[in-house]
Structure 1
Amino acid sequence: MSQKVTLIATAAMGLEAIVGKEVKALGYENLQVENGRVSFEADVSAIPRANLWLRTADRVKLQVGRFKATSFDQLFEQTKALPWEDFIAEEGEFPVIGKSVKSKLYSVPDCQSIVKKAIVERLKVKHGVTSWLKETGALHRVEVAIHKDEALLTLDTSGSGLHKRGYRVGQGEAPLKETLAAALVQITNWHPDHPFVDPFCGSGTIAIEAALIGQNIAPGFNREFASEDWHFIPQQAWEDAFQEAEEAANYDQPLNIVGSDIDPELIDIAKKNAMEAGLGDLISWKQMQISDFNPKQDNGYVVSNPPYGERMGDREEVEQMYRDLGTIMRDHPSWSVYVLTSHEGFEKLYGKPATKRRKLFNGFIKTDYYQYFGKHVR
């Protein structure tokens, strides 16, 4: 069935426009970019494609309904009026989670149980079930999100968050989410023909995401999604999406990507993660301190999420790293440098104001993405 659905790609704060660009690149036009999400209308075949391809979105949710609700009666009746049977099969399992912000219906457990009860009543009538619903089938996680008295009811098509690419076998102390790492690469105008270095690579996430982008490998290629077992999405749609991803990958694209870090254990983890991602020897890993970094080519890109020096004991060491990076890069004006940090004195330590700054959140930490554009050498 080629029914139209409304999908919502959720996004971390500051990444909405990037997610919107990705949705457009998949060929979906009518989209609405709001705080924390990008909504768009599409055929059900967009569910497999969006899950497979969106590098910077957190999840893909299917919108079942949106309405005003200031009383439990309203919430019950309007939930019950929605076509749940189109999406949840008779034996489908459907736990309900919820949240409520600035709304009259503020008790989340009550909202969850009312939504659950309304869906049960609807499905029993539509599926012709007189006793209880078994819920032994495919998982459909329902979310009721109430904001300023408007209820949004969705089904989570992704399962685990989209940042879980399936390649992380190990991580450092403060790992960068894969979705944010991909965004850091996409904000640059790096092209896979140019050198790419992350000199504070930790467990390798930025370099790995750059390699996936460089070879146009779908980020979801190595994992499973909750909606793969949903009855209303034809199996063919999944097969076609995976086939499209396989054909779009450019495994012959040569890459010059280097990840380095002072910690040998992290370099070891990064190597294992890259192997798990199927990138084997595509990325060079080096144990090295920043003061030994010495670019040999022109027109390269440094993209990094170095330590922030938030712990008192680390601060001086981290500030020296920033100074060292600035000193080294002064001798390489053709290189572009992109650094994510919460340290407000970064530009002063680096020795130069950024060409551009962008506010982003790394988890709950407020950071700036400092961007220095290189003078391209022909």
Structure 2
Amino acid sequence: MMNSYITIIATAAMGLESIVAQEVKRLGYSEVNVENGKVRFEADIQAVIRCNLWLRSADRVKILIGEFEATSYDELFEQTKSLPWGDYIPEDGEFPVIGKSVKSKLYSVPDCQSIVKKAIVEKLKKQHGIAQWLPETGSLYRVEVALHKNKVELTLDSSGSGLHKRGYRYQQGDAPLKETLAAALIQLTNWHPDQPFYDLFCGSGTIPIEAALIGQNIAPGFNRSFVSEEWEWVSSEAWERGLEEAEDLANYDQPLAIYGSDIRHEMVEASKTNAFEAGLGDLIQWKQMQASDFASDQSIGYIVSNPPYGERLGDKKKIEETYKQLGTVLRDYPGWSIYMLTANEQFESLFGQKATKKRKLFNGFIKTDYYQYFGKRI
């Protein structure tokens, strides 16, 4: 298995597929296909390890076992059974089946899950030469059956917990920004590690922490474990190679000027705790202050923030006033590039300036716009 090529699918939140595709290409995998919610490519087993360790904006790394058309449960059963499940799942492997179905004849997800499970059981018994039941006491191999317009895609999830779970967020606020989205927001800028970087609404510190990981080229998955570390056909030597590469490529000597501030004292403290857990305690400077108190003696820099949206009625006026004050203050910094993610559709008029560029993104289930103001050349 280690030398054979497989199809890898990196899943992504809506709007982030192109960012994930760029990340995959930067890892050296060139033939990349971008689809809705996913990026797929052919590579060796080592790529599964590297993608889990390095992809900053992907949700999960999956392995494609097979795909086919199915409009009846018999077809679903027979074609699932024809796949080489025993090459991937050992005789004691635990293999729960999850599913989803969109615009397909086979619309009952529980029935699809049940049939796929039965088909895999039959194939594993045959491949492993077992007459009776399968114990499922070993490592976890989570299977997903996804149907879209009668096309069936069967995958194995190699990540376990979603890739946004970096292992550093011990404390969080009311509406935390996912680490994967925070990393994408930074990668949508032209920030370089030698330039100042500010988040004026830092919450639990996710954006500055992700910026520090990017700035020092630290693999975001370096601090956590993955379900495929326990898989028999992915060797421990391969994992060691992946971790050694991550250690070798990290640039711990890169000086950074990263700042996070928030009006709430408890959020600043939470940010400090999370940065410490990420091993970045000394790299980021934190401060309790209002966003409109921002001041810098640098002529160029970057501000990337996910400010409160003012969704609750009582907060709305206060937030809108904050946007206005911020616009007034930041007009004194024409060389700075400013990036704001918000669901408030009046942002540009409140901020007092039309964005250079706008991008639609989803923060969880909230539809937002990413307002991008490019700094003038100075």
TM-score normalised over the length of structure 2: 0.99
Corresponding residue for residue 229 of structure 1 = 230
- Post-superposition Cα deviations, 1:4-49, rounded to whole Å, max 9, x if no partner, equal 1101000000000000000000011111100000001000111110
2:217 maps to 1:216: yes
Corresponding residue for residue 240 of structure 2 = 239
Task: Give 1:337's aligned amino acid.
Answer: I
Task: Give 1:198's aligned amino acid.
Answer: D
2:328 maps to 1:327: yes
- In structure 2, C-alpha distance between the alignment counterparts of 1:364 and 1:218, rounded to whole Å: 27
- Provide the aligned C-alpha RMSD in A: 0.7
Corresponding residue for residue 339 of structure 2 = 338
State the identity %.
Answer: 69
- In structure 2, C-alpha distance between the alignment counterparts of 1:242 and 1:299, rounded to whole Å: 36
- Offset at residue 278 of structure 1 (A): 0.3
Matches within 5 A, 1:173-188: 173-188=174-189
- In structure 1, C-alpha distance between the alignment counterparts of 2:9 and 2:292, rounded to whole Å: 45
Indicate conservation of the 8 Å contact 1:301/1:335, yes or no. yes
Corresponding residue for residue 193 of structure 1 = 194
- In structure 1, C-alpha distance between the alignment counterparts of 2:79 and 2:331, rounded to whole Å: 62
Other structure's SS at 1:63 match: strand
Indicate conservation of the 8 Å contact 1:335/1:376, yes or no. no
- Post-superposition Cα deviations, 1:106-139, rounded to whole Å, max 9, x if no partner, equal 1111111110010011011111111111111110
Provide structure 1 residue ranges, at least 5 long, that are not aligned to the other structure.
none
- Post-superposition Cα deviations, 1:238-275, rounded to whole Å, max 9, x if no partner, equal 11000000000000000000000000000000000000
- Post-superposition Cα deviations, 1:213-246, rounded to whole Å, max 9, x if no partner, equal 0000000000000111111112211110000000
- Offset at residue 71 of structure 1 (A): 0.3
- Offset at residue 104 of structure 1 (A): 0.7
- Post-superposition Cα deviations, 1:274-323, rounded to whole Å, max 9, x if no partner, equal 00000011000000012211122121100000000111100111111111
Task: Give 1:25's aligned amino acid.
Answer: R
- In structure 2, C-alpha distance between the alignment counterparts of 1:84 and 1:46, rounded to whole Å: 20
Other structure's SS at 1:201 match: coil
- Offset at residue 376 of structure 1 (A): 2.8
- In structure 2, C-alpha distance between the alignment counterparts of 1:376 and 1:258, rounded to whole Å: 22
Deviation beyond 2 Å, 4+ runs, structure 1: none
- In structure 1, C-alpha distance between the alignment counterparts of 2:377 and 2:57, rounded to whole Å: 28
2:55 maps to 1:54: yes
- Post-superposition Cα deviations, 1:79-121, rounded to whole Å, max 9, x if no partner, equal 0000111111111110101111111111111111110010011
Matches within 5 A, 1:65-144: 65-144=66-145
Q: Figure out how many residues of one structure are paired with residues of the other and give that number.
A: 377
- In structure 2, C-alpha distance between the alignment counterparts of 1:242 and 1:290, rounded to whole Å: 39
Matches within 5 A, 1:303-322: 303-322=304-323
Other structure's SS at 1:254 match: coil
- In structure 2, C-alpha distance between the alignment counterparts of 1:17 and 1:366, rounded to whole Å: 18
Task: Give 2:305's aligned amino acid.
Answer: S
Corresponding residue for residue 41 of structure 2 = 40
Deviates more, 1:14-23 or 1:82-91: 82-91
Provide structure 2 residue ranges, at least 5 long, that are not aligned to the other structure.
none
- In structure 2, C-alpha distance between the alignment counterparts of 1:219 and 1:211, rounded to whole Å: 10
Corresponding residue for residue 367 of structure 2 = 366
- Post-superposition Cα deviations, 1:189-231, rounded to whole Å, max 9, x if no partner, equal 0000000000010000000000000000000000000111111
Task: Give 1:213's aligned amino acid.
Answer: I
Task: Give 2:61's aligned amino acid.
Answer: V
Deviates more, 1:185-194 or 1:130-139: 130-139
2:22 maps to 1:24: no
Indicate conservation of the 8 Å contact 1:293/1:328, yes or no. yes
Task: Give 1:303's aligned amino acid.
Answer: V
